[in-house]
Structure 1
Amino acid sequence: MTVRKSLLICLFWICSSSEASQNQQLLDRIEALERTQTELRHFVEKLSKSDRCAKALSAKCNGNDIERLNKRLEVNPTTPVAFSAYINHSVDKLVHGAVIPFDKVTMNEGNAFNGGTGIFTCPKSGLYLFMWNVMVDQGHSTQITFVVNGAIRRWSYAVATAINSGYQNAANHDIVRLNEGDKVWIADDYASVNLSTPVAFSAYINHFVSNIAFGSVNPFEKVTTNEGNAFNGLMGIFTCPKPGLYLFMWNIIVDHGYSTQINMIINGSVRRWSYATAINSGYTNAANHDIVRLNEGDKVWIANERTSGEIHPHHTTFSGVLLSS
């Protein structure tokens, strides 16, 4: 009887231990499911928040923004962007600021360059290298500007004077960071000027001149040389046809017992004087000269400051010449 009771007690303890282990396993599974449920709930909340942000962004964007975004997403970053072009005919009489077209396009990877308009349109943001070369013939000059979205970034300049034979190049390069849609071109900063054309004049008065008003321009009706047609003898005014360094010379003759003072005027301002008084017998000269740098359109003349008596003809002269451009 005692043995039976012990056996029953052992069996009961064994059964109780097995049920406890199963219960613990169930509890562990329940806790794992609860954790998974919590993680799923957090994930759903994140998805919901992302969906609300996407809807808000979509509401702010218009159709063009969405289209641009889609286009940018479609761009293959490995697609190269490169172009090379040249002009296959001589070009002259360029308008100031005009975009230079390039009718012969030899390479256009990415189709970003329009040779007909001469404009490169950036297809995707990045760092770009541009190089250009413009060649001019002997006796001409050019200044080329590199332009990004209408703003000048860099220049190149060349001058082929009559002294230098052959051609001259206006070449340069630039590295610039561009955004999609930026436009780049090169333009003519000023029309090519023929520097081989000389500028020179020489003139004299061929009659006696008296009663000269103060400040009046001296006319020189006899013009013997007028290369470049820049001097108006009847008005006595030289109008500068192109920038450069000029030499001017003048000589005024007055008779015995008289005096004169002559001013050289540039754009209305006195630049230099000459003076003479004929106290002794015979004639005397009020002569001088000046070297001055002029811009296109500047006006130069000689004027009477004060003169008594008569100015003699033939030996009263006014001359000028372009020394260099």
Structure 2
Amino acid sequence: MTDVDLKSLVLQTKSKNDTAIGFTTRLYSTTYSSSSSIIRGNRIFYNGGNAYNGTAFTCPSPGLYLFHVSVVTDTKSNGIWIYKNTQQLTLAYSGNGDPQYNGASVSAAVWLDVGDQVYLRPRSSSLSVDSASVFTGVKVN
């Protein structure tokens, strides 16, 4: 491979990576007092396409997307729902054990059209979210 071919390959790869749509955020460490609260991101590690605004992902282009939430909580019998617009998709449920730090995670593959929103809500009131919790979404195709 020549230097010109290698430079071309590097530019093509960089171009593809620069347009990759997806995000990963650490969740804000707080107690959500209502199941209608939207769970907020705190530190955003990656936000390709700038489609995640700290509370919701707004679809910039149609396609299949994969979302994942991993929650650490000391709240008994609670969890986090992944929502698409107003529809509940999947629940990361932390269990019925004694209040101690428990972890739960769940993923959802879903087709999104432009403008669809994906966000997180508590299963019920008084959900304590630890700062080790994360939310990720990525366009698959």
Q: CA deviation at 1:309?
A: 5.5
Equivalent of residue 203 in structure 1, options 5, 25, 49: 25
Q: Call closer, same or farther: CA 1:259–1:311 in 2, change over 3 Å.
A: farther
C-alpha separation between the residues in 2 aligned to 1:268 and 1:320? 18
C-alpha separation between the residues in 2 aligned to 1:246 and 1:265? 13
TM-score normalised according to structure 1 size: 0.36
Are 1:273 and 2:91 an aligned pair? yes
C-alpha separation between the residues in 2 aligned to 1:253 and 1:239? 25
Partner of 1:297: 115
Ranked by relative contact order (alpha carbons within 8 Å, sequence separation 6 or more), the top structure is: 2
Q: CA deviation at 1:272?
A: 1.5
- Conservation of the 8 A alpha-carbon contact between 2:79 and 2:127: no
C-alpha separation between the residues in 1 aligned to 2:36 and 2:115? 21
> What's the C-alpha RMSD, in Å, of the aligned pairs?
2.3
- Conservation of the 8 A alpha-carbon contact between 1:278 and 1:284: no
Partner of 2:33: 212
What secondary structure, in the 3-state scheme, does the structure 2 residue paired with 1:277 have?
Answer: coil
Q: Call closer, same or farther: CA 1:309–1:301 in 2, change over 3 Å.
A: closer
Q: CA deviation at 1:244?
A: 0.7
Q: Call closer, same or farther: CA 1:281–1:290 in 2, change over 3 Å.
A: same
Partner of 2:6: none
Q: CA deviation at 1:293?
A: 1.0
Structure 1 stretches of 4+ moved >6 Å: none
Deviations 1:141-193 (A, max 9, x none): xxxxxxxxxxxxxxxxxxxxx89xxxxxxxxxxxxxxxxxxxxxxxxxxxxxx
Deviations 1:10-69 (A, max 9, x none): xxxxxxxxxxxxxxxxxxxxxxxxxxxxxxxxxxxxxxxxxxxxxxxxxxxxxxxxxxxx
Letter of the 1:227 counterpart: G
Gaps of 5+ in 1: 1-161, 164-193
Partner of 1:248: 67
Equivalent of residue 77 in structure 2, options 247, 259, 266: 259
Q: Call closer, same or farther: CA 1:296–1:306 in 2, change over 3 Å.
A: same
C-alpha separation between the residues in 2 aligned to 1:309 and 1:296? 31
Letter of the 2:94 counterpart: A
Matches of residues 88-167 of structure 1 in structure 2 within 5 Å? none
Higher helix proportion = 1
Are 1:237 and 2:59 an aligned pair? no
Identical columns (%): 28
Q: Call closer, same or farther: CA 1:305–1:282 in 2, change over 3 Å.
A: closer
Partner of 2:7: none
Gaps of 5+ in 2: 1-11
Are 1:322 and 2:127 an aligned pair? no
Letter of the 2:103 counterpart: N
TM-score normalised according to structure 2 size: 0.79
What secondary structure, in the 3-state scheme, does the structure 1 residue paired with 2:78 have?
Answer: strand
